[in-house]
């Protein structure tokens, strides 16, 4: 049987085994999918051991995505752009291929919610690995402008400079954000701690779309805050999780699973898995 797993620290909360088990059942693929939580300094050895023992592929989550980027033999164009790897496949000729499915998963989920990206003004909060993975796929949709805001302004500036060849992208401090945005995407992990990015409530309006890459059994702190200030259209990152997993499954198995039924099952069981 082919073996897959997700590396992370911590990783016990991961929904990936649940998702990939449903994908395998749906597509009649025979595989096992598990969890691995190596020590922070033990990822490289754990990854090598997994593939030496016959592993076929893996997902990589926080905090190992940037490290995975340096450990694979070959990078997909989108992984190169992101500077981070969240999916690794062992090819038939023994090459470890690193890919990044996060941005594709985000765009697929936004599209499934009917959110228009082309010609829109988008605000991306955060300048870490999650933002890096999202930028190229978002800019490929040709928004009018994409603004990156981050607590450390220099990181946002660096990211904007790195991706400016793909579209109109700029950096701005939280305090200096002005104008009307059509979509705000929170790529920070603040919601995991129940905290909020330092965003002015005046940026929220009734027609804005709000997206938090984090998720939970109830509204994240950011979504709850946005609703309080009049946002009527809010989405969390659960759909992105399923969509990026479907992209990874396709890379591994060569068959694309459907996501709607799996997302429904995940929402139904979120509190118990």
Which residues fall in the annotated binding site for shikimate?
Answer: 14-16, 61, 86, 102, 215, 244
Which residues fall in the annotated binding site for NADP(+)?
Answer: 126-130, 150-155, 213, 237
Q: Which of 56, 65, 80, 227 is catalytic?
A: 65
Burial letters 27-54, b for 16+ CB under 10 A, else e = bebebebeebebeeeebeebbeebbeee
Q: Is 192 left (phi over 0), alpha (psi -120 to 50) or beta?
A: alpha
Look up 56 and say whether it is catalytic. no
Give CA–CA dist 271/159, Å, rounded: 36
Spatial CB neighbours of 244, under 8 Å, sequence gap ≥ 6: 86, 101, 102, 104, 105, 106
Active site residue ranges: 65
């Amino acid at each position: 049987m082919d073996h897959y797993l997700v590396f992370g620290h911590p990783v016990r909360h991961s929904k990936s085994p649940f998702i990939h088990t449903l994908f395998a059942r749906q597509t009649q693929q025979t595989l096992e999918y598990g969890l691995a939580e190596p020590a922070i300094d033990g990822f490289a050895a754990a990854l090598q051991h997994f593939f030496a023992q016959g592993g076929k592929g893996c997902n990589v989550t926080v905090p190992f995505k940037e490290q995975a980027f340096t450990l694979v033999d070959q990078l997909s164009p989108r992984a190169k752009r992101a500077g981070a790897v969240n999916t690794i496949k062992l090819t038939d000729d023994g090459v470890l291929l690193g890919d990044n499915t996060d941005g594709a998963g985000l765009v697929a989920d936004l599209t499934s919610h009917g959110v228009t990206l082309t010609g829109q003004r988008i605000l991306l909060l955060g300048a870490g690995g999650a933002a890096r993975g999202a930028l190229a796929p978002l800019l490929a949709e040709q928004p009018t402008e994409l603004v990156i805001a981050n607590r450390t302004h220099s990181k946002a500036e660096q990211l904007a400079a790195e991706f400016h060849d793909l579209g109109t992208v700029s950096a701005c401090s939280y305090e200096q954000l002005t104008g009307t945005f059509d979509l705000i995407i929170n790529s920070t992990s603040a919601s995991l701690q129940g905290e909020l990015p330092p965003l002015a409530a005046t940026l929220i309006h009734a027609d804005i779309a709000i997206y938090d890459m984090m998720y939970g059994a109830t509204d994240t702190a950011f979504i709850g805050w946005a609703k309080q200030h009049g946002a009527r259209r809010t989405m969390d990152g659960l759909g992105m999780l399923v969509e990026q997993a479907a992209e990874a499954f396709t890379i591994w198995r060569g068959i694309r699973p459907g996501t709607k039924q799996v997302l429904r099952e995940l929402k139904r069981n979120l509190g118990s898995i």
